[in-house]
Structure formats: C-alpha cells, structure tokens
Structure 1
Amino acid sequence: MTEQVVVGRVAKAHGIRGELAVDVRTDSPEERFVEGAVLTGRARGGATTRLTVTAARWHSGRLLVRFEEVPDRTAAEAQRGLLLLADAHGLPPIDDPDEFYDHELEGLRAELTDGTTVGTVREIVHSPGGELLVLDREGRSEAMVPFVQAIVVEVDVQAGKVVLDPPEGLLEDVEPSP
C-alpha cells in the first residue's frame, strides 16, 4: 500500500452544489487540490473512499473543493470531519531537522526519557493552539501530548521513536466520575 499524508480535513458543506470547506494541512494546496487529483477520504471509523477533485477555489480564507463523488449538499453534509489524504511520493525533503511530515511520526514508539514505553503515536492533531501527538496506550486510555520541545524532547524517525519528558499527570489515566 502506498504511504499517504493528510492534506486537509473537511470542515463543513458550503452552498447547495456539493462544495466542501476544507481546512488545508499541506504547504502546496495548489498541487494537491488541482482538478483531476485523486485523494482518499478517511472517516473517523477508518472507512475510506476515493475522491476526484473537479474544482477548487479560495473563499474567505478557506479552500472550497468539489469532488466528482459528492454531487450535492446532502452528500457534502455526510463528509464533515473526513480526512483528505494524498500519496506521499513526490514530497519534497524537509530541510529543518525539527520539522516532520505527519506520516513520519505516525507509528513511532513513544517512550519516556528513562526508556519506558508509554504507547505508539497514532496520529497528529493540528489545532489552532498547536499540534498534538495522539498516543495509543495498549489497553489504556489514549493520551494527547502537546508536540512541543519541552515535552517531546527527541524525535528519532530512523530509530522509530519519540522521547517524552511529560509534566506530572499528563499521562495519568483519568478515573471515571462516580
């Protein structure tokens, strides 16, 4: 299977003709959302669908995209929250050693500075406040770790790990309320 990268997330339907407002997660939207480009849509549950771009335009700071497979407003409403993925081949190398593509981080082992494994990076969440690493914690609740130098002290893609120095309580399981 070809490795894929997240290039956007469907925020909402726009208008009545099936346009989707997309939160862009790529530095080159003009290449990723060009007419005829084929993307993969991945729903929260993991189901995927093939989407072919028929048009894309900027409107009020947000990219509006039409897909061949999304013909109207009803179909567009069903796409809310869909992650849009493109093939990773052809991505330019990153010159900054402190920057990474999401797909390079997903699947890395997360360990503490003492070497204790605490989980695996499942995904990276891009929020207005910054990036978060979402960790699968083998049978425990997932953890969301701010992707900042003070907490993620080392990223070693070659060794397959991220090293964390979390503040007290960040990785503690939350007890259910009575």
Structure 2
Amino acid sequence: MCRAVCRFTKKITKEILNRVSFCFIILSTDLILKWQRCSIMSDMLVIGKILKAHGVRGDVKITPITADVERFRYLENVTVKPGSPGERKFAVKSIKFISGGRYIILGLEGISTMEEADALRNLYIHVSEDESIELVEGAYFIHQLVGLRVIDQQGKQIGIVKEVMDTPANDVLVCTVVAGFACDSDEFMVPFIEDADCDVDLENGTVRVSMDFVVS
C-alpha cells in the first residue's frame, strides 16, 4: 500500500489532476526553474501565451513562459498553437519588452489589425526544440520526464510518469501504477523535491524515488 507522507505540506486533490499542463524544469543540484504549464508537444516548446491584441496595428501582448525572457530578443519565427484549422507559423517583425520584461509585445508578419491579433488571444507561442535554450548539465525538459519508468530504491518498477504538475509548494510527478505494485488507486504522486531522492536517468529511461514520499 502506498504510504502517505506528513511532510507533503499541501493536500493534492483530484481536481488538480484535471489541469492541462506543460512545464519546463531544470534540476541541477538544488536549483529548480519552472515554466508555467500548457499543453505537452513532442517537438515544440512553449515560451509564451498571447494575452490580447496590443494597439490597432496587429501586435499581440504576450506573457513569457520561459526561464530566460531574453530569448525573445532573438526570435525570427514562431508557431502559434492550438488554432483553427491548426498551427499557424509567423515571421517575427518586431519585439518590445514592457514592464521590465514581464510582458512582451510581438509584431507578427501577416497580422496587421486589432481584430486579427485578438483572434490569437489565449493561444500559445511555440518554438522548435532546436531553437530552445541550451540546457546545463543535469537539466531536462518535461517531455523527457513523461513516460519514464518510476522505480523504487531497490530498482523495482512501480509506475510510469504520466505528467508533472505544479502545486504551490513544489512540482509533483503524477504516475500510472504498473502491474505488481499494490496501490489504492491506478495513480500515485511523488513530490519532485530533493528530500524525495528523485534521481532521473534519461539514458536508462528511469526516475528513482523514495517510497516514503509516494502518495496515492
């Protein structure tokens, strides 16, 4: 049976599990940098969300979703998804930082009116993985964590990472139970913190966790 942990400071409810999410995590010793979440994509990375039109000439106001807002200064092309009928690709014609980089105003080729810009409201700005920021040693993107085999400290598989969700206290691995692991439900969670001894091994496709922090 999965064991609850008193040090898990926030009670995680099933409602939280319903949030569609994406995140970017860097874990290097005790350093964790996170991206706010949106949808997971296999070869595209989210770097911002379009909030609304800005002005009357088709610019859009964006909130960055990245550990490095300076990357926006060098954007040449972006992809906007989801959309109708699908993704839309744009060349970037202008970039302006406002509020100290808290928001960014982008001008996109082919978008020249407020109405056209407002049609992109609440969509996400993506770049290809090839254009992503260079990761330091020991760092990884969330799509590299999803699908990893979860093993205990003895190397026995207990689950598969389904997603990584954000809570006020810390990130949490949401995992699907595999046959042979006795658990109260078909999913369990592990706080992605140093105390839980989360050891990611991308080469072998595993993440080792402490059973003391497994929560069902």
Aligning the two structures, in what range does the TM-score lie when normalised by the shorter sequence? 0.5 to 0.7
* 1:19-38 → structure 2 map (5 Å cutoff): 19-34=59-74, 37-38=76-77
Shift of 1:25: 3.1
CA distance in 1: counterparts of 2:215 and 2:114, whole angstroms: 47
Aligned equivalent of 1:108 = 147
Deviations along 1:43-68, one digit per CA (max 9) or x if unpaired, are 28994221221111011131111211
Matches of 1:70 and 1:77, distance apart in 2: 10
Task: Give the Cα separation in 1 of the matches to 2:84 and 2:130.
Answer: 25
Gaps of 5+ in 1: 170-178
Equivalent residue in structure 2 for 1:117, among 159, 165, 168: 159
Distance 1:100 1:18, change over 3 A: same
Task: Give unmatched runs, 5+ long, in structure 2.
Answer: 1-41, 179-184
Match of 1:56? 95
Select the structure that is richer in strand. 1
Higher Cα radius of gyration:
2
SS of residue matched to 1:75:
helix
Higher percent of residues as helix: 2
2:204 to 155, 159, 163: 159
Identity of aligned residues (%): 20
Partner residue in 2 for 1:70: 111
TM-score calculated relative to the size of structure 1? 0.63
Aligned length: 161
Is residue 52 of structure 2 the alignment partner of residue 12 of structure 1?
A: yes
Deviation at 1:10, TM superposition (A): 2.0
Answer 1 or 2: higher relative contact order, Cα 8 Å, separation at least 6. Answer: 2
Per the normalisation by structure 2, the TM-score is 0.54
Q: Secondary structure at the match of 2:61?
A: strand
Q: Against the structure 1 CA distance between its residues 58 and 88, is the aligned structure 2 distance closer, same or farther, given a 3 Å change threshold? A: same
3-state SS of paired residue (1:79) = coil
Q: Are 1:148 and 2:187 counterparts?
A: no
